[in-house]
């Protein structure tokens, strides 16, 4: 009992540390929720090897006996560097550099617990971070009036239940209580604002060209969603899984603040601190997976996942009085992710994993922004598992994501934010470790 309580305490503590860095799946989705890194998360809805199946397909809990707790974490190291090919700085401001590397190391933990209620019924609880993003540029870079820091963090509580209808079919479902918090910062061109409001006279009054500050928009919200799935045993060696996770609609409420506002502009309602709202919807997803035991040594798996990113057509931030702060057209598209993987069983204690995946970006080239300079990515992964005891397993995996070089042409000169033109070179490295204990 003490061991069980300790493991549960560690699980909860791990979840409370949840921080989301640059997403490793397309846009700002986080697929790093299990031991599947080594297989590129192929077969996620069909593998059902441990309690993390709660996220990928709750019906998979029917394959687990007794009680199991998993605690996992992924270190994600993204890189996003702009090569300038003709940008122009903001009006009345110095241009600035390329912004450095916008990626930064982040830890994404998750934890799951499954309990056997009776021979046919399982209850589970997952705590994870399904979405997350952070890009941050040097404060003096040429695109600072478009973006400096962009951060999205989520934490998701997912109680679930599974029921085995027959020897060949299990079903499962869960509810999701998800909290989201976001922060957006960018430089504010006070010189351009002064010239626009009052011409050369007001520009001189605030100190001339080169006067700027920083705006910060921060907000949060909580909302509900659901997920469900089914697992079909086609034979003793083959199973097929399908799962669905719903959209979750938010209205983030928070504030906008401006730093270093010149006294001559302090009365402007456009530069006043105040409350803001940002409606945003997290996309739904559908997965179809297969798992096949080829022989005593090899398992094969495959997965196709569709994510409904077309829900994100624009980012519209308004003040509480209804006036618009900023609207950015995103025009994102739905995407597909395809993965295949294999596992080799060396012995009763050791196994190895390999995988490859292709993940398509939802971001059209014409609407790419500095906040999310996303691109198509190809995953190459390796990993393994060690069983130190009959009850415990340690999984580990490494993934390198090759990201396609993409262009950006974001002309916001008319709003005093400059014209950002260049090519992004990006990549991601992921290292994951998971411990599972059954009792």
Region 26-31: mean pLDDT is: 89
Task: Report how far residue 136's alpha carbon sits from residue 178's, in angstroms, rounded to the nearest whole number.
Answer: 25
**How many CA atoms lie less than 13 Å away from 141 in the CB half-sphere?**
24
What are the tens digits of pLDDT across the range 60-74?
A: 999 999 999 999 999
Of residues 59 and 16, more confidence is placed in: 59
Q: What is the mean pLDDT of the chain?
A: 94
Number of structural domains the chain divides into: 1
What pLDDT is attached to residue 151? 96
Q: Which of 10-14, 86-90, 151-155, 340-344 has the lowest mean pLDDT?
A: 10-14
What pLDDT is attached to residue 11? 38
In eight-state DSSP terms, residue 237 is S
Task: Report how far residue 379's alpha carbon sits from residue 401's, in angstroms, rounded to the nearest whole number.
Answer: 5
Which among 117, 121, 134, 126 has a CA at the least distance from the CA of 77? 134
pLDDT at 20 over 90: no
For residue 248, the domain's CATH number is 2.40.160.60
pLDDT at 3 over 50: no
- Reduce the DSSP state of residue 234 to 3 states and report it: coil
What pLDDT is attached to residue 34? 79
Q: Which residues contact 13 (CB under 8 A, 6 or more apart)?
A: none
3-state secondary structure 103-159: CCCEEEEEEEEEEECCCCEEEEEEEECCEEEEEECCCCCCCCCCCCEEEEEEEEEEE
pLDDT at 14 over 90: no
Q: Which residues pair with 269 in a beta bridge?
A: none
Q: Are 229 and 58 in contact (CB under 8 A)?
A: yes
53 φ, ψ (degrees, to nearest 5): -60, -20
What pLDDT is attached to residue 23? 57
Task: Report how far residue 191's alpha carbon sits from residue 39's, in angstroms, rounded to the nearest whole number.
Answer: 53
How is residue 388 written in tokens?
């130190």
Burial class (CB in 10 A: 0-12, 13-18, 19+), 352: middle
What pLDDT is attached to residue 303? 97
How far, in Å, are 114, 199, 219, 275, 347 from residue 257 at the CA level? 44, 25, 12, 9, 59
Which among 248, 209, 236, 228 has a CA at the least distance from the CA of 59? 228
The dihedral built from the CA positions of residue 199, 140, 81 and 150, taken in this order, carries a sign that is negative
What are the tens digits of pLDDT across the range 321-367?
A: 999 999 999 999 999 999 999 999 999 999 999 999 999 999 999 99
Q: Which residues pair with 288 in a beta bridge?
A: 242, 304
The 10 Å Cβ neighbour count of residue 120 is 13
Region 243-257: mean pLDDT is: 98
Q: What percent of the chain is modeled with pLDDT above 90?
A: 93
How is residue 132 written in tokens?
């997350």
Task: Report how far residue 35's alpha carbon sits from residue 74's, in angstroms, rounded to the nearest whole number.
Answer: 10
Q: Is the pTM of this model over 0.75?
A: yes
pLDDT at 157 over 90: yes
pLDDT at 215 over 90: yes
The dihedral built from the CA positions of residue 47, 49, 53 and 59, taken in this order, carries a sign that is positive
Region 157-165: mean pLDDT is: 98
Which among 247, 219, 380, 387 has a CA at the least distance from the CA of 309? 247
Confidence of residue 35 (pLDDT cuts 50, 70, 90): confident
CA 325 to centroid of chain Cα atoms: 25
Q: Which of 19-23, 106-110, 180-184, 435-439 has the lowest mean pLDDT?
A: 19-23
What pLDDT is attached to residue 8? 37
* Full residue range of the structural domain in which residue 244 is found: 2-438
What pLDDT is attached to residue 27? 84
How far, in Å, are 220, 221, 257, 307 from residue 180 at the CA level? 5, 6, 20, 19
Burial class (CB in 10 A: 0-12, 13-18, 19+), 113: buried
Residue 3 Rama label (left phi>0; alpha psi -120 to 50; beta): alpha
């Amino acid at each position: 009992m003490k061991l069980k309580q300790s493991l549960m305490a560690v699980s909860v503590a791990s979840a409370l540390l949840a921080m989301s860095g640059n997403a490793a799946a397309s846009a700002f989705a986080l697929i790093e929720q299990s031991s599947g890194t080594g297989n590129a998360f192929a077969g996620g809805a069909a593998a059902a090897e441990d309690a993390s199946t709660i996220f990928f397909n709750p019906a998979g809990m029917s394959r687990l006996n007794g009680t199991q707790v998993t605690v996992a974490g992924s270190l994600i190291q993204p890189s996003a560097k702009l090569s300038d090919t003709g940008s122009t700085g903001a009006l009345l401001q110095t241009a600035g550099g390329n912004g450095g590397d916008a990626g930064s190391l982040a830890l994404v933990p998750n934890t799951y617990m499954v309990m056997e209620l009776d021979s046919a019924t399982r209850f589970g609880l997952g705590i994870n971070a399904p979405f997350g993003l952070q890009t941050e540029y040097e404060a003096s870079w040429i695109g600072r009036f478009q973006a400096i820091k962009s951060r999205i963090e989520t934490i998701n509580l997912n109680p679930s239940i599974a029921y085995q209808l027959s020897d060949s079919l299990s079903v499962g479902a869960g509810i999701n209580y998800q909290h989201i918090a976001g922060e957006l910062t960018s430089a504010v061109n006070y010189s351009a604002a002064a010239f626009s409001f009052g011409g050369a006279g007001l520009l001189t009054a605030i100190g001339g060209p080169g006067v700027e500050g920083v705006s910060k928009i921060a907000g949060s919200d909580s909302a509900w969603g659901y997920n469900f799935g089914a697992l079909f045993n086609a034979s003793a060696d083959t199973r097929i899984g399908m799962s669905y996770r719903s959209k979750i609609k938010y209205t983030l409420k928070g504030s906008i603040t401006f730093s270093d506002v010149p006294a001559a502009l302090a009365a402007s309602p456009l530069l006043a601190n105040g409350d803001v709202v940002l409606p945003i919807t997290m996309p739904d997803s559908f997965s179809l997976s297969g798992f096949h035991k080829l022989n005593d040594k090899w398992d094969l798996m495959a997965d196709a996942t569709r994510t409904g990113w077309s829900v994100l057509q624009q980012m519209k931030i308004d003040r509480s009085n209804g006036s618009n702060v900023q609207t950015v057209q995103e025009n994102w598209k739905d995407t597909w992710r395809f993965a295949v993987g294999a596992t080799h069983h060396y012995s009763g204690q050791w196994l190895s994993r390999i995988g490859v995946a292709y993940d398509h970006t939802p971001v059209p080239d014409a609407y790419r922004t500095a906040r999310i300079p996303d691109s198509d990515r190809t995953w190459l992964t390796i990993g393994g598992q060690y069983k130190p005891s009959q009850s415990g397993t340690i999984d580990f995996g490494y993934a390198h994501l090759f990201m396609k070089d993409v262009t950006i042409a974001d002309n916001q000169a008319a709003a005093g934010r400059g014209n950002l033109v260049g090519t992004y070179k990006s990549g991601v490295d992921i290292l994951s470790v998971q411990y599972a204990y059954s009792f």
